[in-house]
Chains A and B, each alone.
Chain A
Amino acid sequence: MPTGAATGYRATATLTFATELRRQATRRRTQLSLGFMAALPLVILLAFELGRPRGGGGGGERGQFAALADIATTGGLNFALFTLLVSASFLLVVVVALFCGDTVASEASWGSLRYLLAIPVPRGRLLGTKLLVALLCSLVALVTLTGTALLAGTLSYGWHPLRTTVAGEIASGPALLRLLGIMAYLAVTLLVVAGLAFLLSVSTDAPLGAVGGAVLLWIVSSILDQVTALGSLRVVLPSHYADAWLGLLSNPIQTDDMVRGAISALLYAAGFFAWAWYRFARKDVLS
């Protein structure tokens, strides 16, 4: 062959999406994570059933959380919304960091990364395939969580219009679309976590370091976001607009913060991914 390659070798056929998917799907952690995503709504459902409040609720601070918890059992959509609310800030971050941070670092720790590169799988292609599969797994986790919550909630509580604490009721059809919108926005925001975890995954050969590092940095960003003394500087933080999806519950829909959040997330994610690609392309793979 003119490129000197062995017969039958084509760079675009190496490490295809299907192969990488098989590589990741056979792993215990993938199966356990997705299983947990499916089981969590059932656990929450059980908790609601067992812990039915007797008498009136307490007074005191009624934040968004307490308010949404009250109406979580009024219908399938409300239950799914509640599940998303409790998972969005930490659980989903951990899951996305797990999928994206573990993918390259674990290959490096097993020693199989160098054999993949020696096939040769072009470095950019290797990263691309691994990232796509990791993002797909994260998306599947998100969809599994919401879908199971919706299904379990509907079976238990019925299919009713979405009740919100501030905007009254939203009809079922538009409410379902809003729920999809919330999922889409969460997916975009979590791209930042994915980028961070992927960058760390490329830089280290300890998977725990990559996953833990991404989660830690996200938590630091959230903590800094609470420090009001920083004022308008907080807009720069990647997690500043993380809860902007609540705007989809307002009537009418408040998209301003969501738009800004999407811009911030896209820019951060693009920056992290570009840096990861740059590092990996230049790197001497010693592990």
Chain B
Amino acid sequence: MRAPLIPAVRGGTSKRGQGTPAATLARLTRRRALAAGAVLALVAGLVAWTVWPSAPGYTARALAITVRTGPDGATPVPLDATSYVPDGATAAHPAAAVLLAHGFGGTKDSVASDAEDLAARGYAVLTWTAEGFGRSGGQVHVDSPDWEVRDAQRLLDWLAARPEVAKDGPADPRVAAVGGSYGGALALLLAGYDRRVDAIVPEITWNDLPGAFLPESTGAGPQAGVFKRAWAGLFFGSTGSPLGLAPGADPTCGRFARDVCAAYLAVATTGRATADQVALLRRSSPATILDRIAAPTLLVQGQADSLFPLSEADANARGIAAHGTPVRVAWYTGGHDGGPGPQSDQDRLRFLTAQWLDHYLLGRGPAPGDGFTYSRVAGIDARTGGVVAAAYSVAGYPGLAGQSTKTVGVAGPAQPVASPPNGTPGALSSLPGLRPAAAGLGPAAVHEVPGQHADFYTRPLTATVDVVGAPVVRVRAASSTGEAVLFVKLYDVDPQSGPALPGGLVAPVRLTGLPASIAEARPVTVTLPAIVHEFQAGHLLRVTVATSDQGYATPVAPAVYTVAVDPEVGLPTVQGNPIATPDLAWRWVLAGVAAALAVTLAAAVWLGRRRHGRAGRAVVPSHADTPLVVEGLRKEYADGLVALAGVDFTVGREQVVGLLGPNGAGKTTALRVLAGLVRPTAGAVHLFGHRLAPGAPVLSRLGTLVEGPGFLPHLSGLANLRLYWRSTGRPERDARLQEAADIAGLGDAIHRRVRAYSHGMKQRLAIAQAMLGLPDLLVLDEPTDGLDPPQIAEMRRVLVRYATDGRAVLISSHLLAEVEQTCTHVVVLHRGEVVASGPVGDIVGDSPSVQFEVSDPDAAAEVLRRAGAAGVRREGGGTIVAEMDGTPRAAAVAALVRAGVEVSRVVPRRRLEDAFLALVGGDAAGAGEERR
């Protein structure tokens, strides 16, 4: 009788427990859509959070304030202003105020971003357009104490009337004045004329206005000065108003006050200034009231500034400090010519200003001290093309003479130079706004006219000289007219790339009382403009005395002078301490990240090795000798497909087990689990008692062929086998390479590239690869796929021979004849479940079935039953299948014939196919039951 079969589960739960394929697809798509939506929302949220305009923290209000100003204090002038009030400022918690003034030709909008920064820091800021500019009324009086300064004083009154502004006393607001250039001078003048100002930060501004526009570097004063016509023209020509000139207004003067306009026109025409004009300009200069400034002053000055050079701030600083007021000086690489400077400079200035205001207005933080900071252009950032500045600090302000002086020797004979008529052609050192060429940082934009300049060179420097301050030279000149206008410059000459003029700055001198011959000339000390410049070792210094400059007004009549330079040039030097940038912190971050990653990596490797070493040591003793025990194996894929639904089978030693099932039964999935490629959802697999997991060491006792061959196509078959064995790391002699090659049976083709193989050849090679090392359990997925009948027969013999010496073989197939002939045991899978398992003979059963083709099926059925057939069933047409229960076929035929039934065919049925189809055919009836 048949061995008990594990009954197939018919009907009941369907394979896909959760419904139809359409529902699965819908669920999968929905899950993906949800995941994608979540990611998209996250990214959108991040972007929105970054770019969302945040609430400013202050309120800006545009106002029109009419002030009563002028010499009599009664002329009304409307001023276009904006007030910025921080959100936290109320009458109960008033904020300190800042008067923020703009530069010449600007409006209140020019300083709007600075105002917003200050307001965000908690100050109440008032910006206004100076009279004569923008939408404000009045005329430009160039920071006259009667007009612009008085306007500012009225604004102080206005601030004092605001409840949200903190006060030091009745009508005395806690206020600072901050401004650049035109606004800087206003801040200084306001502090001098009004004691209510508590701190000032004037930037890039002047000390003596006539001295700035008519510089004379031997100290002769502005009445002997050389007119800075390019800057002056720019300064005094920029009176355009957005509303255009009022009808009837004078196009020459625009919105300039009459007196200022007349003075400018006179000076610009003649190139010289009279005492009256000098006096007029001097009224607008802080130099007159430096002794009255009690507000602590932070002076910021630009090193690239030919309009108001560093000497202006130096004069301010000395004057204010002489009366005990706290003064601090800061230089930076920008200026009227150099712009705002690189980010590092801007950050430094912002920090200094904030520190100054915080301490002197709010009392926050320690006193800033009088330390002096400056920066030097250290190079050009190759990425952005912008300059890179390195900042330095010195304990006290050393002034323009530096802390010490280095003297270098200059040589060269006296040379004649020609002064061109009307200054044309003129040398080009800098024009307003033209970025100066610093040494070694690119092609020099300066230009000297041949014949109009005399050069005196030093020897190449032996060491680098870091100049911070104003160099000093002594010049001798002779002129036939007795007068000479000369421009003295100090060049940095790089032997490779040529001369460059630091800062683009020149020292104009007007010499009088000159003899006709150079031998009688007396030396005159010329103080060159203050610079911050590093003269590299190997460079030369060149003192050039030129007769023309496009930025200045030179005499109209042509002349020839003879010039000579005394052999010593004094270079001021300073011991500056480099200021460390905050970017240093990032290096620590980098070191930290690298160290953390290295440690994590080492830990991961160590942990992985340890875990792998421990894995698989546990043995289930009862299974220790069984090659394969599968219990309850279940595999469910992410999309709901249940490939295996609880499978149990065993492979014992010296067995050839066939895994049989139609397509989609789960055979390949089971073999994938065995090979460690796929992780089961539930269940356990034990190989020789060791638990199987992907990467478990016991897998090395397994040889597999799963889903077809996999070879490197560019190598030969033999090379593939060798490389595979080398990848296992096991000794070469264990490979039994020759035996495997013999099994493959490829002959010479084993030396050809795998690319050229047919599918059958690859299949044989793959089986050979699986057999390398003669593993204890051989797992083959459809080994005869692609082989022709003789090869199939040969493979059958090989497999049967293999399953000796304690080894086992597991093959999967859907070729029933193969399984029947090769295997000793069979496991039948259907829809992920085992429907039958056991020895082949048990599955098939003892009783052979025979198929008869007869003329009269009913009568034949009756006859056969009486002859002793166990089960008779009709198959349609004239076919009857009977289970002969020991009755020989011949006797059955004889009985049929005797009964008068014609028998046309007698065929012994293929047994396994029978059982198989009965098991998996989906028929609710069991095999052997009679059908009617």
Contacts and interface: CB of A to CB of B under 8 A. Distances in A.
Interface of A: 1-16, 19, 22-23, 26-28, 64, 110-125, 128, 164-169, 231-233, 243-244, 246-247, 249-252, 254-257, 259-260, 262-263, 266-267, 270, 282, 284-286
A282 to B, nearest CB: 8
Given A167-B380, A250-B379, A118 B593 contact: no
15 contacts: A4-B616, A64-B382, A114-B706, A118-B676, A120-B699, A122-B612, A124-B608, A128-B605, A166-B441, A254-B381, A259-B583, A259-B589, A263-B586, A266-B593, A267-B593
Nearest to B732: A8
Given A6-B773, A116-B727, A250-B388, 19 more contacts: A4-B697, A5-B616, A6-B730, A12-B609, A12-B729, A117-B677, A118-B675, A119-B727, A121-B727, A166-B380, A166-B385, A167-B440, A168-B440, A168-B497, A254-B388, A256-B581, A259-B586, A259-B589, A263-B589
A118 B706 contact: yes
A122 B608 contact: yes
Contacts of B709: 111
B162 to A, nearest CB: 36
Given A115-B769, A118-B704, A256-B583, A5 B714 contact: no
Contact of B379 (A8, A11, A28, A254): A254
Nearest to B47: A233
Nearest to B494: A168
A8 B730 contact: yes
Nearest to B378: A252
Closest 9 CB pairs of A and B: A111-B710, A13-B729, A4-B698, A5-B697, A4-B690, A246-B382, A9-B700, A120-B699, A112-B710
Interface string B588-624: 0110011001001000110011001101110100000
A166 B386 CA distance: 10
A110 B713 contact: yes
Interface in B263-277: none
B688 A14 contact: no
A5 B727 contact: no
A270 B597 contact: yes
B775 interface: yes
Contacts of B701: 4-6
Given A115-B710, A120-B696, A256-B583, A2 B380 contact: no
A4 B672 CA distance: 20
Contacts of A259: 583, 586-587, 589-590
B904 interface: no
Interface residues of B, number: 82
B581 to A, nearest CB: 8
A120 B700 contact: yes
A247 B385 CA distance: 11
Nearest to A128: B605
Contacts of A263: 586, 589-590, 593
A168 B438 CA distance: 12
Interface in B642-682: 672, 675-679
A2 B617 contact: yes
B711 interface: yes
B589 A3 contact: no
Given A117-B677, A259-B590, A112 B711 contact: yes
A257 B587 CA distance: 11
Contacts of B593: 263, 266-267
Chain A CB within 10 Å, residue with most, of B712, B775, B776: B712
A252 B379 contact: yes
Nearest to B709: A111
Nearest to A169: B496
A208 to B, nearest CB: 16
A29 B494 CA distance: 50
A282 B677 CA distance: 10
Contacts of B672: 284-286
B619 A4 contact: yes
Contacts of B637: 284
A256 B604 CA distance: 31
Contacts of B676: 117-118, 120
Contact of B723 (A19, A124, A284): A19
B503 to A, nearest CB: 19
Interface string B711-731: 111110000000110111111
